[in-house]
Amino acid sequence: MEKTKLLIRTEGHVKMGMGNIYRDIRLAKKIQELYNPEIRFVIEPISVIGIKKILDAGFKVDLIDYNNNFNQYIKYIKKMKPDIVINDILNLEEYYMKELIKLNLLTVNFEDKEISTTREYADIVFNSIYEDKNTYVNYYYGPTYAPIRDSFKNIKDKRINKECKTFLLAFGGSDPSGFTLKVSKILDKIPDINATIFIGPSFSSHQQFYDLLRDLDKDKFTIRYDVAYNPEDFKDVDIAIASGGNTSYELAAAGIPTILLSQNQLEEERTPIFEKYGALINAGNGNKLSDGELIKNIKKLMGDYKLREKMSKNGMKTVDGYGLDRIVKIIFDGLEAKKKSLNK
């Protein structure tokens, strides 16, 4: 029996961040573990760091120099003849999706936007943020489908300390706005605390950060590079300050009270959706946020034990860590249904 062929089209670089790449690697590993199909990634050469991450994870990568010509992808897909195409692209092309329909394969899209012009052409759509107002039949939304690591399953309730001593800073794979520097300077002024700073693989402010470290209290900060987040990294954290990517789901699953700073308009639009679950404080656009406002948010959370306790419980209730299992089951159930409909 021939192996199922699965193709993942994705992107990830300094400018747009690395969230799609991390999500797709986790998805590919889970699919490989459960179904062992032939998996290939297809990506543009601009995603240099993303390509390295995929290769390091042990998957095959094919490069397509897109150059605004979607037919390059269609030609590649026709040649490969996959059973499943997964698209994890921020601005997916409508015409490309219309062409995929003609190939009689299962099309799965991951989205992070409220409105999409390509949603109706996919067999299955996952969006861990926005509800579809038109109740699209095969549209799965919300934190139930947050694709985080298996290590975030079945975590014991987080112990919330009366006093806040330990902070975590996590601003994604690239931190394009330089929030790592901004927040480190502020925490340096708060006495009797310590902070772990996670630096991503495509972090773009290395020199400025090294220069800043000379002026910071070295006993207060621990720097960790290119870490795949796990609950062990979060267990002693009292408060996290982060940006609004997939990390917000991991922090919620681990029960960490979090202050979220948006890096861009997309994050600014979607953070209030997650805020309604009660697991974080939305500090708004971090590029416009004054130091005074951020300090006020930090001190408010430090001084409110009951609020931190409530945020922790809400986060763990909202994200249970089984999102990947649900996603993969839906995809392969969809493949079986697709095969049956084609064989009628």
pLDDT score at 172: 83
DSSP string for residues in 215-234: TS-TTTEEEEES----HHHH
pLDDT at 114 over 80: yes
Instruction: Give pLDDT, residue 137.
Output: 79
Least confident of 91-95, 174-178, 256-260, 310-314: 174-178
Residue type, 188: D
276: closest CA among 129, 152, 139, 148?
A: 129
Q: Which residues is 182 bridged to in the sheet?
A: none
pLDDT: which is higher, 162 or 245: 162
3-state helix, strand, coil in the chain (%, to 5): 40, 20, 40
Q: Are residues 20 and 115 both part of a single domain?
A: yes
- On whether the CB atoms of residues 89 and 118 are closer than 8 A, the answer is no
| CB of 145 closer than 8 Å to CB of 327 | yes
Q: Do 201 and 12 contact (CB within 8 A), yes or no?
A: no
Which residue intervals of the chain are DSSP H helices?
19-35, 48-56, 71-80, 94-101, 179-187, 206-213, 231-234, 247-253, 265-275, 291-302, 305-318, 323-342
Question: Do 240 and 179 share a domain, yes or no?
Answer: yes
Q: Are residues 218 and 121 in the same domain?
A: no
pLDDT, residue 316, reads 97
- Across the beta sheet with 106-110, what order do the strands follow? 60-63, 38-43, 5-9, 84-87, 106-110, 124-127, 139-141
What is the tens place of the pLDDT at every residue in 173-210? 788 889 999 999 999 999 999 999 999 887 878 889 88
- Mean of the per-residue pLDDT values of the chain: 92
Residue 344 has pLDDT above 80, yes or no: no
Distances (CA, A) of 194 to 219, 222, 243, 247, 258: 8, 8, 20, 20, 16
Considering the domain architecture, whether residues 131 and 117 belong to the same structural domain is answered as yes
Instruction: Identify the pLDDT of residue 143.
Output: 95
Q: Detail the DSSP E strand segments found in 64-138.
A: 84-87, 106-110, 124-127
Domain match, 290 and 336 both = no
Same domain, 207 and 313: yes
- pLDDT (mean) for 211-224: 91
d(CA 261, CA 331): 33
Q: What's the start-to-end Cα distance of the chain, in Å?
A: 20
Q: Domain check: are 143 and 209 in the same one?
A: no
Least confidently predicted of 13-22, 73-82, 109-118:
13-22
pLDDT above 80: residue 69 = no
161 shares its domain with 262: yes
> Structural domain tally of the chain?
2
Residue 239 contacts by C-beta under 8 Å, 6 or more apart in sequence? Answer: 164, 166, 167, 168, 256, 257, 258, 259, 298, 301, 302, 308
- Claim to verify: residue 162 and residue 26 sit in the same structural domain: no
What is the per-residue pLDDT across 218-277, written as a single tens digit (0 to 9) for each?
899 999 998 888 898 898 999 999 997 788 999 999 999 999 999 988 889 889 998 999
For residue 16, pLDDT over 80 is answered with no
Q: The domain spanning residue 281 has which CATH number?
A: 3.40.50.2000
Closest C-alpha among 116, 154, 152 to residue 136: 116
Q: Which two tokens stand for residue 112?
A: 């992070």
Beta bridge partners of 67: none
Rg (CA), the chain: 21
Note down the domain range covering 175. Answer: 151-318
Verify that 304 and 224 share a domain, yes or no.
yes
Give the mean model confidence (pLDDT) for residues 305-314.
98
- Residue 244 has a pLDDT of 76
> Are residues 31 and 113 located together in one domain of the fold?
yes
Tell me the C-alpha to C-alpha distance, in Å, between residue 50 and each of 10, 38, 54, 125. 9, 20, 6, 23
**Residue 20's pLDDT is what?**
93
Mean pLDDT of 279-291: 94
Write b or e for each residue in 33-52: b if 16 or more Cβ atoms lie within 10 A of its Cβ, otherwise e.
Answer: eeeebebbbbbbebbebbbe
Q: 300 falls in which pLDDT band (50, 70, 90)?
A: very high
Confidence category of residue 68, pLDDT binned at 50, 70, 90: low
Q: Is the pLDDT of residue 152 over 80?
A: yes
192, 139: one domain: no
Per-residue pLDDT, averaged over 300-324, amounts to 97
